Amino acid sequence: MSIKVIIAGFKGKMGQAAYNMVTEDPALELVGLLDPLTPEKEVAGVPVFNQKEDLSGVEADVWVDFTTPKVAYENTRFALEQGFAPVVGTTGFTSDEIKGLVEFSRQKELGGLIAPNFAVGAVLLMQFATQAAKYFPDVEIIELHHDQKKDAPSGTAIKTAELISKVRPQKHQGAMDEKELLKGARGAEMDGMRIHSVRLPGLVAHQEVIFGGQGEGLTLRHDSYDRKSFMTGVNLGIKEVVKKKELVYGLEYLL
Ligand code: NAP
C-alpha cells in the first residue's frame, strides 16, 4: 500500500524538489498540497489548499514541511493533531519547541522527523565534526547559503554546534582581550564557538567546520550543489516515520 503524503510549501524551492520526488516514487501517493497564496485549486489531480485547517479532512499518513520558520512549529503541531506523521525540513525551531513536539508525538504515538539537513553528506559531516572536536576543541563553523534564506545561522550550523558542545571541553576561543572593531566581525557565539553565516546568490547549502590545533588544522566541508541532494533523506524519512511512535530531531536517528 502506498504512503499518502501532503506537502506544505510545495511552491517553494525545496517544496518543488519534494513534489518531484514524491510524484516519481510509486510507493508514495500525493494527496494534498499547501501554499498560502496560490490561486490553483489542483495540480495534476491533487487538491491544493491555502490554509492548513482545510487539510483536516484529508486522509494522509505523512506531512512534509518546507515552509518558513514563522509557521513551521504551528504546522508541525497541527500535523500531529491530525494524525499525520511530520517530516519537517523547515528550520528555525527552538530547542523548547522541539522538546514540546517530541513529547506531543509520544502522546499521539506518532512518528516524525525534524531534520535541519536531509543530505546524507551533511549528516556525516556533523558526525565527523563531533569526533574531531574531542581532539580539537578550537573550532569555528562557517555556513554558506543562497541569499533568499530567511534564518541565520542555519539549522545545520546550530545542530553541528550542539553536537560538538556535548563532547568539547568548555573553552573561550580567541584572545581574552579581543575587541570587535566592526560589530559581528567574530560571528555568532554559541558555547564559546563562533558561527559565521555567508549569504550569496549562486550558493545552495554549504558548511565548513574548521578546527585548529598546535601547528595543524583540519577542515571538514560539505556542499549541496542541488536540492536533489536533500531528497534521498526526505524519501527515507517518509518511509521510516510511518513505522515509528515518536518524533526525532536529526536524520541520523533513522539511518
Ligand atoms: P522558499 O523557496 O522560500 O519556500 C518556502 C515556501 O513556503 C514558499 O513557497 C512560501 O510561500 C511557502 N509558505 C509560506 N508560508 C506558508 C504556510 N503558512 N503554509 C504553507 N506554505 C507556506 O524556501 P526553501 O528554500 O524552499 O526553504 C524552505 C525551508 O526549508 C527553509 O526553512 C529552509 O531553511 C529549509 N531547508 C531545509 C533543508 C533541509 O535539508 N532540512 C534544506 C534546504 C532548505 P510564499 O512564497 O507565497 O510565502
pLDDT mean values, one per 10 residues, the chain (255 residues): 96 97 98 96 97 96 97 98 98 94 98 96 96 96 96 95 94 90 96 96 97 97 96 97 97 93
Which atom number of ligand 1 is nearest to the Cα of residue 70?
Answer: 15
- Protein residue whose Cα sits closest to atom 33 of ligand 1: 90
Q: Which of 7, 84, 90 is nearest to 44 (CA)?
A: 7
Cell numbers standing for residue 201:
546568490
Active site residue 145: yes
Q: Note the pLDDT of residue 174.
A: 87
Please report where in the chains the cell 576543541 appears, as a residue: 137
117 lines ligand 1 (CB under 6 A): yes
- Protein residue whose Cα sits closest to atom 40 of ligand 1: 117
Q: How far is the CA of 72 from the centre of ligand 1 (A)?
A: 9
Q: How far is the CA of 151 from the centre of ligand 1 (A)?
A: 11
Length of the chain: 255
- Protein residue whose Cα sits closest to atom 25 of ligand 1: 13
Q: Note the pLDDT of residue 25.
A: 98
β-strands 42-43, 46-49 pairing: antiparallel
Which atom number of ligand 1 is nearest to the Cα of residue 91?
Answer: 32
Q: How far is the CA of 11 from the centre of ligand 1 (A)?
A: 8
Q: Note the pLDDT of residue 1.
A: 84
Q: Note the pLDDT of residue 170.
A: 84
Which atom number of ligand 1 is nearest to the Cα of residue 16?
Answer: 26
CA pair distance 254, 243, nearest whole angstrom: 11
Which positions make up the binding site for (S)-2,3,4,5-tetrahydrodipicolinate? 146, 155-156
Compute the CA torsion angle 169, 174, 176, 179 (nearest 10 deg).
-140
Q: Which residue among the candidates 108, 145, 159, 206 is catalytic per the annotation?
A: 145
Q: How far is the CA of 183 from the centre of ligand 1 (A)?
A: 29
Q: Which of 18, 33, 12 is nearest to 231 (CA)?
A: 18
91 lines ligand 1 (CB under 6 A): yes
114 lines ligand 1 (CB under 6 A): no
Please report where in the chains the cell 518511509 appears, as a residue: 239
Which atom number of ligand 1 is nearest to the Cα of residue 38?
Answer: 47
Q: Note the pLDDT of residue 169.
A: 87
Q: Note the pLDDT of residue 172.
A: 84
This prediction has a pTM of 0.90
Q: Best mutation site among 16, 35, 113 for ligand 1, i.e. most ligand atoms within 8 A of its Cβ?
A: 35
Q: Compute the C-alpha angle 84/90/94, nearest 5°.
A: 95
Cell numbers standing for residue 74:
504551528
Q: How far is the CA of 124 from the centre of ligand 1 (A)?
A: 24
Active site residue 149: yes
| All domains of the chain in start order, with CATH | 3-114+228-249 (3.40.50.720), 120-224 (3.30.360.10)
Judge whether 145 and 113 are in contact, CB under 8 Å: no
